[in-house]
Amino acid sequence: MKKILFAATIVLTAVLGTACATSGETKSAGTATAAIAAAKEAQAKAHAVGHEFTGVSKMIKKAEKLAAEGKADEAIKLAEKAKFEAEAGVQQYEDQKDAGPRF
Amino acid sequence: MKKILTCAAVALAIAVPVTSVQATPSDDLEAFRAYFKKRFPDVPFNDYINGVYAIDKASREQWMEIEEFPPYEINVEQGETMWNTPFKNGKTYASCFGDDVAAIKAKYPHFDDKGEVVTLEGDINACRVGNGEEPLKWKKGKIADLSAFIAYQARGQIINAPEPKTAKELASYEAGKHFFYAKRGQLNMSCADCHVYYSGRKARADILSPALGHPSHFPVYRSKWGGLGTLHRRYAGCNKSVRAKPFKAQSANYNNLEFYETYMSNGLEWNGPGARK
């Protein structure tokens, strides 16, 4: 009986552990997808106003590759950096609306 | 009385910046020339056609030696061959531009009926397409060769971009001016930052050229490229240098910028094609 209970505990732990891990991965993958989508949206805005920085596109592509490889945390980090730079481009556009000679 | 004085002071404070925003193209031209005259008092006006070689003696000596056997010579010859070679329909570029090659370069850039900027390279491809030929790639190769041949024939003529007059022409001019002075890219730098305010200073090992006269010597053979390239190729390179995503060659942004830079160089001589580092 003890053996059966012991085996059942191990099986249950393994099943629960796997389920939890799978759930965590799914959540991370989902977050990575959302982060990449947010970066792409910001990139489109920067592109539309003509102030996209050169590295944004590459960062998004790399984030997509990392996400596909299951490296969700790295993908999120890169996508957030891309989003930050794209938003900086839009801010630059706003700041430069009245640009002109300073002499 | 105090109220009147206060009102007058406020009105004056508002009016002054409005006046500066509404500077006409000829006001801009005058201020632009005056700036460089003050910045480089020893440089003769027409020497600005030589770019950085107008302001740095050591670079100029090296460049003069390069010009003894111009690296763009073969491109000019290839351009001449293109000019004389008929399209499949039997016509030549002369059917679009006229027989006098020397009279072409000085007509560009100009405005079309819609007030949009028309460039030489734009009309070269329009001519090709109109005659059933494939358009050429914009930045280098054959289009630069033909442009070099046309530029070479116009050496010594005076740059005289037309004064923008209609609302649409002025809008194109203002767009080019804004592009020139607006900071862009991750490095947050404008064309003017390098080529106006910091002209003559160093960016790493390179001395920054003055913007006055920039378009005079294009297309240019750049040692860095190992070949000839158009002005818009250079614009894209500059944008990349400040980590800004470049625009397409012959886009409205670069066409407007070309017009603004050319108008600011009015009065100088055309001396393309040039050789640069």
* Mean pLDDT of the region B71-83: 98
Q: Look at chain B and report how many structural domains it folds into.
A: 2
Query: Are residue B102 and residue B239 in the same domain, yes or no?
Result: no
- Secondary structure of chain B in the HEC alphabet? CHHHHHHHHHHHHHHHHHHHHCCCHHHHHHHHHHHHHHHCCCCCHHHHHHHHHHCCHHHHHHHHHHHHCCCCHHHHHHHHHHHHCCCCCCCCCHHHHCCCHHHCHHHCCEECCCCCEECHHHHHHHHHHHCCCCCCCCCECHHHHHHHHHHHHCCCCECCCCCCCCHHHHHHHHHHHHHHHCCECCCCECHHHHHHHCCCCEECCEECCCCCCHHHHCCEEECCCCEEECHHHHHHHHHHHCCECCCCCCCHHHHHHHHHHHHHCCCCECCCCEEEC
Tell me the CATH number at B128.
Answer: 1.10.760.10
Q: Check CB contact under 8 Å for A103 and B178.
A: no
pLDDT in tens, B122-157: 999 999 999 999 999 999 999 999 999 999 999 999
Higher pLDDT, A10 or B61: B61
Q: Check CB contact under 8 Å for A96 and B32.
A: no
pLDDT at site A30: 80
Chain A residues within 8 angstroms (CB to CB) of chain B: 47, 50-57, 85, 88, 92, 95-96, 98-103
pLDDT at site B22: 72
In a domain, B197, yes or no: yes
Query: Are residue B96 and residue B63 in the same domain, yes or no?
Result: no
Last residue of a domain, one of B133, B153, B173: B153
In a domain, B81, yes or no: yes
In a domain, B7, yes or no: no
In a domain, B6, yes or no: no
Query: Are residue B179 and residue B269 in the same domain, yes or no?
Result: yes
Structure-token match 């614009």, residue found: B235
Distance of CA A88 to the CA centre of its chain: 18
Q: Element (H or E) spanning A68, and its range?
A: helix A55-68
Last residue of a domain, one of B127, B153, B179: B153
pLDDT at site A15: 42
Query: Are residue B55 and residue B171 in the same domain, yes or no?
Result: yes
Residue B58 to chain A, least CA–CA distance (Å):
29
Of B35, B177, B240, the CB nearest to A103: B35
Q: Residue B104 is part of which domain span?
A: 73-153
Query: Are residue B22 and residue B101 in the same domain, yes or no?
Result: no
pLDDT at site A16: 42
In a domain, B225, yes or no: yes
Distance of CA B232 to the CA centre of its chain: 9
Whether the predicted pLDDT of B9 surpasses 80 = no
In a domain, B5, yes or no: no
Q: Check CB contact under 8 Å for A96 and B196.
A: no
Whether the predicted pLDDT of B81 surpasses 90 = yes
ipTM comes to 0.87
The model carries a pTM of 0.87
Other CB atoms within 10 A of residue B249 CB: 22
Query: Are residue B132 and residue B54 in the same domain, yes or no?
Result: no
Whether the predicted pLDDT of B219 surpasses 80 = yes
pLDDT at site B3: 60
**Quick check: is B238 catalytic?**
yes
Of A52, A88, A99, the CB nearest to B190: A99
Q: Check CB contact under 8 Å for A54 and B243.
A: yes
* Mean pLDDT of the region B161-180: 98
Last residue of a domain, one of B102, B132, B153: B153
In a domain, B46, yes or no: yes
The rounded percent of chain B whose pLDDT value lies above 70 is 92
Query: Are residue B112 and residue B78 in the same domain, yes or no?
Result: yes
Query: Are residue B111 and residue B177 in the same domain, yes or no?
Result: no
Query: Are residue B115 and residue B190 in the same domain, yes or no?
Result: no
Whether the predicted pLDDT of A25 surpasses 90 = no
Write out chain A residues lying below 8 Å of B247, CB-based: 50
pLDDT band at A2 (very low <50, low <70, confident <90, very high): low
Structure-token match 């001396």, residue found: B271
pLDDT at site A5: 56
pLDDT at site B2: 57
pLDDT band at A12 (very low <50, low <70, confident <90, very high): very low
